[in-house]
Amino acid sequence: MRLAAPNHFPLASVSTLLIVLLSSCQLRPAEQQTSLDCARGAANSSDSSSGSAGPVQKLSQTCLYADIERQRISPQLRRFTPNYQLWSDGANKTRWIYLPPGSQIDTRDPDHWRFPIGTQIFKEFRQSRSADAGSTSVGDTAADDFSADDFSADEIRVETRHLTKVSDARGYLAWSIATYAWQPDQRDAVLLLKGAQQVLGTRHNIPSKKDCITCHKGNRDFILGFEALQLSDAQAPNAFGHGPKRLSKDPRGMAEWTLQSLLDANRLSHAIAQPTLPGNKIEQQALGYMHANCGNCHNPRGHAADRDAEHLKLRHKLGMLRLEDTDVYRTAVNQPTQNFTLVPFIAMGAAYEEMAIHRSAVFVRMNSTDEDYRMPAVAREQVDYQGLALIQSWLKTLPTPPNYDFDAASTGIAKLGQLTPFDASALEGPGLQLLLRFKPGASPPPSVLVYWPEDKSLKARPVMDHRHGDFTESLIVGQRGARMSLRNSDDVGHTIYVKDKRQGVNWRLNYMPPLSRFEQELFWDEGVFVELRCRLHEYMSAWAGSISSRYHKILSLDEEDSSLRFAMQDYPEGFSQVRIWMPHFKPIHTQIRSGETQRFNLKRGAQIWGELIIRRSPKG
């Protein structure tokens, strides 16, 4: 007898089959997610002044990703790469922009584009991981939207910035500014309301919103890097800067935005000819580097113009067709420093003398990480050595200013004459008689202080004012704990600071507007003298000393003074210790009694610049 085939499966087999079928049809959660609409995202973003909802809490809730699990960028956005990239402490960056369909960028002013409302820009920062950055592996997620040049196995995402044009206001008021910090598992980034340091164990620091505005406000419509020069196809062969280079097509097969592709797509309201920088390759790269890294602040609208540095302009304009017409060459090359006067020139030509490189503020400040000296001053803590090498090569192409004495200035050894003999017995008079004598060619100090340290009765409230762009006093003194009164009777602002690493004294006042007053405790030890400087006007210099003796005398010297004789009688006869202090000279500590005469060499470093003669007689 033949058995018929069963017309049903056993119950266990049916259950297994259903599970297999359902599993084969089920999508991953990220693949089920449809791309968020950038137009809807722009409507939901605002700055704090608009009254509507602010930025979303997670990067995955923006329209950047079609699939954040696989790092697939939404097709609504297109990538772009500036010809000259801003140095960001070694971070690699990738940028995308969303332009609303059918919209155009207003390019009536080819140097300052105005973006349509709804524009969105994303910039991702990636940093190499330090040894203690955790065990997160970038390989855990596939980076489908990056080329091998974009993303290395040693990198992790640390930050993504999101800017959205929400109104037709001017400058930063028209933009919603959001920063997202990536999480250790690299699956998403969360909204950050303030800056952050050493993100995910890397050296990457996320700036505050205030710092973002400081850098971006120099451009009329806030956005940096998406402009004619930075997107110029003709300028691309001489591009320069740290980071991934422009791709002909990204991994999605989409071409990056360039000036030509924007013109072809009718995305610009007015046609712009392909701009190129003047000069040879090194000159073009130097101009482009300073345009991107310095020009954001150093232009008439920038942060530097608000800090008494409006004389220096480093942002390029398209109408500058010759090197000598550029603002860099007109305001920086072989031009004297006006604020940072620790060196004599802003960009000193070194074609005839390589030591001139170290007399250039551009080179010195790029090579510094000190917060009071470094440039750029904001959001930069590492030296860009690639950029520094470029600027060094460029400075070596520029003519060295004539009549600059490198032999004296570079070595620090002054060419001094000899003192004529002097008979100390000629120092006649009651009390303490003193004579300062300087060798021919030696510059005298701006002030000299003589005091008797055995006294401890000083009760002073020293005052330092500002007039005519400088300090009113070259030296003030007070006892430790005294309150110094710092005043600004000037018509310009000042930012006073002390940074003396040898003495361990470090403080800085906030910006002092005209006609303001501040108090600062004199907190350093007795016998310590520190230099006061102005961050906005580096030529300014004065000194503040801590002494406790009311028996002291301060005298001022002019640059042309070759000698100074003075007397002191206001001291108790029983005192014998005397101290003499002058800026930059070795202090003199001595004991002298009535009827004695003493001589001292005045030394700056290892060199003798003059002599001091002291003679003490009864006060009578």
Amino acid type, 193: L
d(CA 56, CA 51): 15
- Residue 71's nearest CA partner among 163, 130, 140 is 140
Report pLDDT digits (tens) over 112-149. Answer: 999 999 999 999 999 997 534 333 333 333 344 444 34
Do residues 493 and 534 make contact, with C-beta atoms less than 8 angstroms apart? no
pLDDT of 404: 66
In which region does residue 253 sit, left (phi positive, over 0), alpha (psi from -120 to 50) or beta (all else)?
left
Q: Which strand (E) or helix (H) includes residue 47?
A: none
Locate tokens 């060094």: which residue? 392
pLDDT of 500: 83
Dihedral (Cα; 561, 565, 570, 575), 10-degree rounding: 110
What letter would DSSP give residue 105?
A: B
Locate tokens 């020069």: which residue? 229
* Confidence bin at 252 (pLDDT 50/70/90): confident
Locate tokens 């017409």: which residue? 325
- Residue 557's nearest CA partner among 470, 451, 444 is 444
Q: Which strand (E) or helix (H) includes residue 121?
A: strand 120-128
Q: How many CB atoms lie within 10 A of CB 519?
A: 11
Collapse the DSSP code of 317 into the 3-class scheme (helix H, G, I; strand E, B; otherwise coil) and give the result.
coil
CA distances, 562 to each of 11, 437, 441, 445, 609 (Å): 112, 6, 9, 11, 11
pLDDT of 402: 72
Check whether 516 has a pLDDT greater than 80. yes
pLDDT of 371: 83
Among 29-38, 76-85, 303-312, 511-520, where is mean pLDDT lowest?
29-38
Structure tokens at 307: 């800090």
Check whether 469 has a pLDDT greater than 50. yes
- Residue 88's nearest CA partner among 244, 299, 267 is 244
d(CA 144, CA 61): 19
d(CA 431, CA 306): 53
Report pLDDT digits (tens) over 368-427. Answer: 988 888 888 887 889 999 999 999 999 999 998 876 655 444 444 567 899 999 999 899
Amino acid type, 76: Q
d(CA 36, CA 200): 28
Report pLDDT digits (tens) over 278-297. Answer: 999 999 999 999 999 998 88
Structure tokens at 430: 């009651």
Structure tokens at 566: 């003075």
Report pLDDT digits (tens) over 14-58. Answer: 344 333 333 333 333 333 345 688 988 666 665 543 445 689 999
